[in-house]
Structure 1
Amino acid sequence: MSVAVASFAIFAASQVGTPGPANLALMATGARFGLRAALPFVAGVALGKQLIIWPVGFGLMEMAARAPLIFEALKWVSAAYIIWLAWKVANMRLGEGQDARAPGFAAGLIVHPLNPKAWAMITGGFTAFVAPGTPSLEATATIAAVLLGCQLLMHPLWTWGGSLMARHIRGTAAERYLMWTLAALTVASVLFVLFGGGTT
């Protein structure tokens, strides 16, 4: 095998399972609407990463090397969008309000394409775990399958975790602090990717 599958699976699990803009959005959605109502959003988030993996696997990063300013601008636009989402999370209150609906599948699809951590994770996967000369289809399909498997396991857990927290703190003084903490962690994760220079 030209992809170090076992090593990449460990890397992928550590990345998908740790806090980042997508997981914190999932947790906030679960806390606000409950796991069942959030499932279409969860599915969109999981499949949205495929919208990055396949173009990267078939040469998007080569194009990025030829037009770095475009990709630098996209990175900052994406970061601004995630921070705007964090502001919305900070001002949310828990519960299933009749005036609001859980975000759907389409809303989930755009989370990872606008998530700097996802881009860093995927490019790191291709550069660190794929042997030179590996056919693009083989490398991309392997990376895609491993990441999707990790997401299908861990994304619902983050959403469920948010739902569990909401049951205990909804309507209490801690509710506001939870939402602001989730928002602050989201912003911190974006800033870490932008300025930390790592893939986590």
Structure 2
Amino acid sequence: MSVALAPLIVFAASQVGTPGPANMALLATGARFGFRAALPFVAGVALGKQLIIWPIGFGLMELATRVPWLFTALKYLSAAYIIWLAWKVANLRLGQGDAGARVPGFAAGLIVHPLNPKAWAMIVGSFTAFIGPDVSTLAATATVACVLLACQIVMHPLWTLGGDALARSVAGTRTEPYLMWTLAALTVASVLFVLFAKGA
């Protein structure tokens, strides 16, 4: 099978572009502090996924074969975490100008994906569904790393810019709570898809 590159790109774009904890963090940061101020955080979020991709590519998933129940438990705990986070998003209210708040920087962005269960599921899915056993470890890992990073470079700034635009247009209006509830529902839906579409 080698590398199914086109399907991998479609999968990566759909996963990176849909609501999830990282995109909600980007949206909220853009809404609260503005697009330009959030750019160091955006860069950290994009590069932080590399901290997961390379260890997984070079053997971390062997642990899943040896201790499968651990990863199954982690999957359901991760889903519970994201649903809790979605509840927080649903009750988040947009708006800039909080004088007491500090803009999260590059280092804060780096830890978003290592703590994001959706990112782990996305990366594991990339390796298992689109990379053949005949591909070398280095080539497989580099391919997944480059495809996901390219999607992030395009889409993460868009989420942040969207947060900035939303804060300017709907903050404080009657539309705001409905928008946040919709984003929260999409986040939960994306997690449930990852949880059940791939099996236990």
**2:175 aligned with 1:191:** no
Partner residue, 1:28: 28
Structure 1 residues 40 and 12 mapped into 2: Cα distance closer, same or farther (>3 Å)? same
Task: Describe the SS at the equivalent of 1:73.
Answer: helix
Partner residue, 1:173: 174
Structure 1 residues 167 and 14 mapped into 2: Cα distance closer, same or farther (>3 Å)? same
Of stretches 177-186 and 143-152 in structure 1, the one that deviates more from structure 2 is 177-186
Contact 1:44/1:106, CA 8 A, preserved across alignment:
yes
Structure 1 residues 104 and 90 mapped into 2: Cα distance closer, same or farther (>3 Å)? farther
Partner residue, 1:133: 134
Percent identity over the alignment? Answer: 75
Gaps of 5+ in 2: none
Question: What's the TM-score once normalised by structure 2's chain length?
Answer: 0.85
Q: Give the alignment of 1:13-24 within 5 angstroms.
A: 13-24=13-24
Partner residue, 2:105: 104
Quote how far apart the aligned CAs of 1:54 are: 0.8
Partner residue, 1:54: 54
Amino acid at match of 1:162: G
**2:164 aligned with 1:160:** no
Question: What's the TM-score once normalised by structure 1's chain length?
Answer: 0.85
**C-alpha separation between the residues in 1 aligned to 2:180 and 2:6?**
36
**C-alpha separation between the residues in 1 aligned to 2:60 and 2:126?**
14
Contact 2:53/2:123, CA 8 A, preserved across alignment:
yes
Structure 1 residues 166 and 87 mapped into 2: Cα distance closer, same or farther (>3 Å)? same
**C-alpha separation between the residues in 2 aligned to 1:152 and 1:12?**
12
Contact 1:78/1:114, CA 8 A, preserved across alignment:
no
**C-alpha separation between the residues in 2 aligned to 1:196 and 1:73?**
16
Q: How many residues align?
A: 198
Quote how far apart the aligned CAs of 1:2 are: 4.1
Q: Deviations over 1:135-176 (max 9, x none)?
A: 111110111011101101111011111211221112212222
Contact 1:22/1:112, CA 8 A, preserved across alignment:
yes
Of stretches 38-47 and 154-163 in structure 1, the one that deviates more from structure 2 is 38-47
Partner residue, 2:89: 89
Structure 1 residues 58 and 194 mapped into 2: Cα distance closer, same or farther (>3 Å)? same
Structure 1 residues 10 and 195 mapped into 2: Cα distance closer, same or farther (>3 Å)? closer
Amino acid at match of 1:166: A
**C-alpha separation between the residues in 2 aligned to 1:126 and 1:173?**
43
CA RMSD of aligned residues (A): 2.4
**C-alpha separation between the residues in 2 aligned to 1:177 and 1:101?**
27
Contact 1:32/1:93, CA 8 A, preserved across alignment:
no
Amino acid at match of 2:49: K
Quote how far apart the aligned CAs of 1:58 are: 0.9
Of stretches 133-142 and 26-35 in structure 1, the one that deviates more from structure 2 is 26-35
